[in-house]
Amino acid sequence: MSLPSLSPASASTAAPTQAALLDFVRRAAADAELIASLPLDPEG
C-alpha cells in the first residue's frame, strides 16, 4: 500500500506568520483550562 503523494497544489497551506504564532501562544496561555490540563514536570 502506497501513500498518496502530495502535489504542491494540494499542500496550499502556508506556514504561520510570527504574528499568528504569537497570537496562538497568547490565547493558549490565557486558557486556564488548557494550562490546568497540561502534565506537571516530574522533576519540578
Q: What is the pLDDT along the chain (44 residues), one digit of tens a residue?
A: 566 665 555 556 899 999 999 999 999 999 999 999 999 887 86
- The Cα 39–Cα 33 span in angstroms is 12
Grid cell of 28 as nine digits: 493558549
pTM of the entire predicted model: 0.55
Which pLDDT belongs to residue 42? Answer: 78
Residue entry with cell 501562544? 25
